[in-house]
Structures are given as C-alpha cells and as structure tokens.
Amino acid sequence: MALWFNKHLNTLMYTSGALLVIGLVFLVLGYSVVRDITFILATLVAIGPILQRAWSALTVKSFSIELLITIAVIGALIIQEYTEAGIVTFLFLFGAYLEKRTLAKTRSSIQSLLDMAPNVAKVMRDGEIVEVDIDEVEVGETVVVQPGGKIPVDGKIVKGKAQINESAISGESILQNKTLEDEVFSGSVIDTGYIELEATKVGEDTTFSKIIELVEEASERKSGTEKFLNRFAQYYTPAIVVLAILVGFITQNVHLAITFLVIACPGALIIGAPVAYVAGIGNSAKKGVLVKGGDTVDRFAKIDTVIFDKTGTLTEGRPSVTNISVYNDMTEDEMLALSASLEQVSEHHLGRTIVKEAEDRKLKGKYSEVTDAEAIKARGVSGIIDDDHYYIGNKKLIDEQHIAIPEEIINDYISEQKEGQTAMFVVKNDEVIGLISIMDRIKEDALEAVRTLREHGAKKLVMLTGDNRYAAEKVADILGLDEFHAELLPDEKMAYIENEQNQKRKVMMVGDGINDAPALALSDVGVAIGHGGTDIAMETADVVLMSEKLKKLAIGYTMSKSTFNIMMQNTGIALITVVLLLLGVVYGYIHLASGMLIHQASVLAVIVNAMRLMPMNRKENEEVSAKEAAA
C-alpha cells in the first residue's frame, strides 16, 4: 500500500489540484453543491498518502505531522469546511513535492561526491585481467586502469603513465601527469594513458573513502543552533497540540482547534539550519575543503585571527639547496656528501632537502659512515665520523654548544638570511667548516588568499614558525602579515594561541597537520593543509584542505561565512513564521488553508534560500573559461 501511494503520489496530487480548480470554477458559477462535491473528492484523493504515513508512524508508536493533518482534515470535513479541507490536503502534498525537488538540489553537491566512488576494479590475477568488486581488491595486488577509467584504490604506479584528474580528492580538475613510482588516489579518473598500479590502500582505508566518511559525518553533525531549534520544536509541537485540545473543549470552536493542528509543526524551523549546512558543507567538500560539521561552520565563520605555520603552509614546503659555502679545503660536493651522511637521521624538511640535493648530484656513493647519529629537535643533527664530532644545525644549536663563529662566516650568514634563505652551519670539532643555504618559495596564491581572508573579516594575520627570523620576516613582509614570530618551539606556538584566546579572539590555526597537531587541536578552528598527512590531519583538524593551494582556505572561509549567514536568515524566517502563524490564528486572521499555505511557503523559502549556497562555482567557471578564451 505504501509503495502504491509513493508510486502514484504525483498523480494523486495533480488530480487533487485539478479537482480544486474545477471546484473553484463551479464556485464562481454559483453551483455550490457541485463545488462541495469536487472539494470533497479533492480531499479524499489527496488524503490517502497522508493517512498512510500517519498510520505507519503510529504502528511504530510515533506521532507525525501527517497524523495532525489527518485529524485536522477530518475535523474540517465534519464541520463542513470542504474548501479548506481540499486546499489543506492539496497544499500538503504539493508542498512536500516541491520540498523534495528543492532539497535534492541542496544535497546535489554531496550526492555527486558520493557518486564519484568507484564500484569495480580490474585486477591482474594469474596473468589475466579480471573485473572484481571494489571490496575484493587486496593490498599488494596489481590493478589495471585504462583511459577513461576510474582508479579504484590508492596505490603506486608500477607500469605506464597517464594524465589523471584528481578532482574527487582535491576539488581541482587540472590534469596531473603521473608516471612510475607516483602515488595515485582512489576516485581519480584517467584522462589519457594507461597505468598498472600496486594497491597500497584498499576499501575503507583509501583517501577517498576517508573523505566520504568525513563528509557523511559532517553532514549529520548538529551545530548548537540546530540542537536548540530541535529542542524548541520538540516542545512546541506537543504544546500546540495541547493548546488545540484545550481551545476545542473550552470554546467549542472546532475550526479554531484544528487550525492550531495545521500550524503545530514548525517545518521551516526544523529544516532551515540543516539545509543550509548541507548545502554549504557539500559545496565546500566538492571544492576540496572538508569542513567537519555545522558546529565547525559556525566557528569558522566567526574567526577573526588567523595563525599560519610557515613551511608548507605559506611556502611551498619543497625547499631546495641554493648555496653551499665551504670554509676549509673540501670541495662543495664533498661538503654536501658529508652533510647528507649526517642528515640521514633527520626527519626535518631541511635535513631532507640536503639529502635530496646530494642524491640529485649522485653523491650517494660518497657518503661517510656515521656513528651516534642523533636528531636534535628544532635545532639540527649531530654525529661522529672517523672520531671527528660533527653538528649541522641552526644558530640556536651553535650558540647552545658555545661554538665561536668567525666574523667572516657571521657576515655570510646574515646576508644569506636577509635574502630569505635558511642557512645552516656545518661544524667539525667545534669549528664552523661550512654554511648550507636553503630556500623555500612562497606559494603562488598565498598573497591572494591573505587578501581574501582580510576582505571577509579576518582582522589579525600572524605567522608562527620555528624557522629563522630573517626568512620569516621576508615571507611576512611579502604577504603583508600583521605579525610574525620566528624561531619558536612547538610549545611556544601553543602559548601564543592560548594568549590570543584569552583576549577573546577567535583563533584559526593553519598548518600541515603533522607537526602542528596539538596547535590545531587547541585553536578554535584547526586547518590542515594537503592530504599528504591524511590520517593524522583528518583526525585532529576541524577543516582539511585537500590540496596544497592556499586559496582553498579562502574558499572555505567565505563559504562558511555565507553558510552561517544563510543559516541565521533561515532561523529568522522560521521564527517569524511561527510567531505570525500563532498570532494570526489567535486573532482569527489565519484559517486552515491560509495557515497551511504560509507554513509550506516558509519551508520552501528556507530551502530556496539555502540553494543560494550552491551555484557559487558558476561564477568561478565563467572566470576560468574567460581566462581560457583569452589564452
């Protein structure tokens, strides 16, 4: 029965609507008996699905708005208000129909993201390619992806090359060239080319699955406002029902009593906030910005202080060795090979840069054997080669070890630092023998992102970094930040955030999500950049930017602001409707049909309002195509 009603819902609605129109024609013509009959018919046609839902809710012992409507309509028929009964039932179905159509629009971003999930995989088994369900792929298996195909799991390319669209992950449709050894992600699509990959993460462990899980959770997580409105609705509906019964008994005015029933469910109030959040969160997610729920949207929108980490956040985080000064009889390559030998223990990006440079110069064969190698946190490394004791590190390390630096080297050091380089000392037995300079470029879109943040209300932009003062100053200068603090230890960053919060500032911390995890957790909104550190970042951060582009931060911020505004507008619309309906009914201006009309109109109003959050990309697309046309 339920299925039959669902299947013929629209037919019933149209029939009921047509009958109403016929009735109105007869009303104008003056045939009141015919009018009554068509209105009764319209009511009976439309009440079916409503009655069915009311009943199915009752069977699981829950009250529903359908039950209230059914009672109201039966009441209206009894007191011979056929016109009202007909219009109320029709409007209820018609409103629900429009709601469904429009709601689907607000959810389309999330839905389309979910639809990007791959279903099947082509796997190499016993030398043959077999197609299997996505859940059957195992780690280590070789997966084949053909042109136009969707990559089913996370993996590493073992054969072939391809141009890959990773928009499911990063929200950007720019094609990436990937070849041997490169990492690829589930959900991406191969544009041209052919690859075979070794599965490294499958099923629910893939980056894409994690994104989906996170977005799903986010779309259901209630904000404070939502919880409050739900509580309000929980008391409001029973209160109005009790009121209706009391009014009915005391005044014997059945018409008034059933009118209360029609307005008892504050639909716009219940749906106004979630519809805004789901549109905003869905749209952000599609652009590669994962916001973890309505409560995060609220906090994100209120941020006035933004704290950036430097390396990998404002800068590209892919530093390169730009200069090597040697102060003894070694060659540049010898100095580099020696430093790289020591830096092999380092997890720090600067140490890694030195090792990478040495490898690029094919010096790996010339490494020395190091004993007692040790990384010194936030300072550098130390180790012993052939009974000589070495340090490589920043000035802090050198000062702490009370190593004297000759004036010539200090001058070199200062001039390097002033150019924005990070210079590291190489020390052999307490004597400085070399200076290695490393440079990390500022991200292309950093300036624009900073500007957008300011335009949309971020008042204080600060950079906190463990890096040296000169390098920091250069970056802060170029980007026009309000403040920067350099050479900080992780706990000093935490102290800074706490201090800002104590001054009633709403602080957002932006970092790579690995080194900054505690700071991200402490701040009002923690933003992790890039999906490189996926697992940790996704757990600690409130917002995850799925690419290294800083403009994502600006997108997330403006999107949260508009989502928050629309949520507030919707709440306003809903509250005003509740008050108007109540007063209107009490003072006799609003009756059954008009009550239902206003109720349904308010529900539609909040949904349509939330739809404004959707087409933000239309303008962007136009800009892109305009640029393409120009090029």
Partner 1 sequence: MKTNLRTDDLTCPSCIKKIESGVGKTKGVSDVSVKFNLNKVTVEHDDTVKADDLKSMVEKLGYPVKSVNTFA
Distance (Å, whole) CA 439 – CA 437 = 7
The least distance separating partner 1 from the CB of residue 103, rounded to whole angstroms, comes to: 6
The least distance separating partner 1 from the CB of residue 227, rounded to whole angstroms, comes to: 12
Contact with partner 1 (CB under 8 A) among 30, 62, 181, 252: 62
Which residues in 247-306 contact partner 1 (CB under 8 A)?
Answer: 265, 267, 270-271, 274, 278
The least distance separating partner 1 from the CB of residue 219, rounded to whole angstroms, comes to: 4
The least distance separating partner 1 from the CB of residue 226, rounded to whole angstroms, comes to: 10
Q: Give the chain's count of helices (H) and strands (E).
A: 24, 20
Nearer to partner 1, 54 or 398 (CB): 54
* Cβ–Cβ under 8 Å, residues 50 and 89: yes
Nearer to partner 1, 9 or 403 (CB): 9
Length of the chain: 631
Which of the ranges 40-48, 107-115, 302-310, 455-463 carries the binding residues for partner 1, by CB under 8 A? 107-115
Catalytic: 440?
no
- Exposed (0-12), middle (13-18) or buried (19+): which is 176, by Cβ within 10 Å? middle
Of the candidates 295, 298, 309, 524, the residue annotated as catalytic is: 309
For position 3 contacting partner 1 by CB under 8 A, the verdict is yes
For position 2 contacting partner 1 by CB under 8 A, the verdict is yes
CA-to-CA separations, 261 to 47, 70, 453, in angstroms, rounded: 16, 10, 47
CB within 8 Å of 384: residues ≥ 6 apart: 370, 371, 372, 390
Nearer to partner 1, 506 or 599 (CB): 599
Contact with partner 1 (CB under 8 A) among 114, 242, 576, 626: 114
Nearer to partner 1, 63 or 367 (CB): 63
Measured between its terminal Cα atoms, the distance across the chain in Å is 60
Helix (H) or strand (E) segment spanning residue 427: strand 422-428
Nearer to partner 1, 67 or 463 (CB): 67
For position 219 contacting partner 1 by CB under 8 A, the verdict is yes
Contact with partner 1 (CB under 8 A) among 20, 85, 110, 436: 110
For position 103 contacting partner 1 by CB under 8 A, the verdict is yes
For position 191 contacting partner 1 by CB under 8 A, the verdict is no
For partner 1, what does the binding mask look like between residues 8 and 47, x meaning CB under 8 A?
----------------------------------------
For position 246 contacting partner 1 by CB under 8 A, the verdict is no
Distance (Å, whole) CA 329 – CA 412 = 18
The least distance separating partner 1 from the CB of residue 89, rounded to whole angstroms, comes to: 16
- Exposed (0-12), middle (13-18) or buried (19+): which is 251, by Cβ within 10 Å? exposed
* Cβ–Cβ under 8 Å, residues 231 and 241: no
Instruction: Give which of 529, 463, 470, 526 is closest to 496, Cα–Cα.
Output: 463
Contact with partner 1 (CB under 8 A) among 136, 138, 183, 216: 216
Distance (Å, whole) CA 449 – CA 442 = 12
Structure tokens at 30: 């003056």
The least distance separating partner 1 from the CB of residue 281, rounded to whole angstroms, comes to: 9
Nearer to partner 1, 237 or 452 (CB): 237
Q: For residue 374, count other CB atoms closer than 10 A to its CB.
A: 13
Contact with partner 1 (CB under 8 A) among 6, 32, 112, 173: 6
For residue 563, report the phi and psi dihedrals to the nearest 5 degrees: -60, -45
Contact with partner 1 (CB under 8 A) among 19, 47, 51, 65: 65
Interface with partner 1: number of residues (CB under 8 A)? 35
Nearer to partner 1, 270 or 509 (CB): 270
Distance (Å, whole) CA 604 – CA 599 = 9
Which long-range CB contacts under 8 A does 101-106 form with residues at least 24 apart? Answer: 102/604, 102/607, 102/608, 102/611, 103/271, 103/275, 103/607, 105/611, 105/614, 106/275, 106/278, 106/279, 106/282, 106/607, 106/610, 106/611, 106/613, 106/614
For position 115 contacting partner 1 by CB under 8 A, the verdict is no
For position 61 contacting partner 1 by CB under 8 A, the verdict is yes
Query: For the residues of 452-471, what is the DSSP string, one character each?
Result: HHHHTT--EEEEE-SS-HHH
For position 136 contacting partner 1 by CB under 8 A, the verdict is no
Instruction: Give which of 200, 182, 192 is closest to 143, Cα–Cα.
Output: 200
Task: Provide the annotated active-site residues.
Answer: 309
Residue ranges in contact with partner 1 by CB under 8 A: 2-3, 5-6, 49, 52-53, 56-57, 59-62, 64-65, 96, 99-100, 103-104, 107, 110-111, 114, 135, 216, 219-220, 230, 265, 267, 270-271, 274, 278
